Amino acid sequence: MDSFALNIIVILFGLCIGSFLNVCIYRIPLSKSIAFPGSECCNCSSTIHFYDNIPILSFIWLKGKCRKCGHKISLRYPMIEIITSLIFLSVFLNFGFHLESIIYLIFLSSLIIIIFIDIDHQIIPDVITLPGIIFFFCTSFFTTSITFIQSLSGIIAGGGSLYIVAWTYYFFTKKEGMGGGDIKLLAMIGAFIGWKGVIFTIFTASFTGTIAGILIILIKGQSFKDKIPFGPFLSIGAITYIFFGTKLTSLYLNFMR
């Protein structure tokens, strides 16, 4: 099988997984099973048949509406499917076809779920991060990209650093400035990419989060007091590190010389 055919298979596989991630994003915060019942309309609860559940194509064919009740389907559903497929393709193009690539896909899929759940509900589910910390630490014994020492130090650096920040902020202000979900998320990230990845992730998340906050204030034209979820920025920082971390770090160090 040539590389073009393999890329197409990966893209199609990513679209299907993206469709499943949409289910997780919707159901996990509601404490619903991600397996049963099958896909259903969030408005009328009617069962979505397989021919109406084909990634991208069904959305286009149905013109973004439920066949039964006509309720508008969010454009975010196909967007997540496309994002997932592109990330899957990027993994295989950068890391090849082997076991470690599968672990990368599991990690990145977890981050996609976390990003959109945190945007919607401002929570990061323990059901993803706590098993994730254990799972990605265990995988460090079988992969070549990170050692178990690096993974353990990543967990400590990730969870510990944010815990200190959160505790310090609460000590001086008596207000919670950072949720426990962020702490556990960064510990999971550290388990997979180590302490160097944690430093890169925090720096990138802080920078992009600051820019996003400034843009929101400028767009609203007034003081912005609502909380901005930090989980998406941490996740984007980790994703950036996986694909561009080494190059960006080298460019930064060369610039600082």
Average pLDDT for the chain: 90
- Residue 148, pLDDT > 60, answer yes
Residues 6+ apart with CB under 8 A from 198: 154, 157, 158, 161, 186, 189, 190
* Residue with the larger pLDDT of the pair 164 and 224: 164
Least-confidence region, from 9-18, 166-175, 179-188: 166-175
Mean pLDDT within 115-131:
96
Mean pLDDT within 236-251:
91
Cα–Cα distance between 203 and 237 in angstroms, integer? 8
Peptide bond into 29 cis (omega under 30): no
Cα–Cα distance between 205 and 202 in angstroms, integer? 5
Cα–Cα distance between 163 and 237 in angstroms, integer? 18
- Residue 223, pLDDT > 70, answer no
Mean pLDDT within 227-251:
91
Cα–Cα distance between 182 and 150 in angstroms, integer? 20
Mean pLDDT within 168-173:
75
- Provide the 8-state DSSP code for 97: S
Mean pLDDT within 35-45:
84
Highest mean pLDDT among 127-136, 153-162, 225-234: 127-136
User: In degrees rounded to 5, what are phi and psi of residue 72?
Assistant: -70, 130
**Within a 10 A sphere around the Cβ of 222, how many other Cβ atoms?**
8
Would you call 33 helix, strand, or coil by DSSP?
coil
The pLDDT of residue 248 is 87
Highest mean pLDDT among 59-68, 76-85, 93-102, 226-235: 76-85
Amino acid 218 reads L
Strand partners, 47: 40
Residue 192: closest CA among 109, 240, 133, 111: 133
pLDDT band at 11 (very low <50, low <70, confident <90, very high): very high
Mean pLDDT within 156-162:
90
pLDDT band at 145 (very low <50, low <70, confident <90, very high): confident
pLDDT band at 18 (very low <50, low <70, confident <90, very high): very high
The Cβ-side half-sphere exposure at 149, using a 13 Å CA radius, reads: 0
- In this structure, the chain runs to a length of 257
Predicted confidence (pLDDT) per residue in 175-212, tens digit: 766 678 999 999 999 999 999 999 999 999 999 999 98
The pLDDT of residue 178 is 67
Query: How large a percentage of the chain has pLDDT more than 90?
Result: 65
pLDDT band at 102 (very low <50, low <70, confident <90, very high): very high
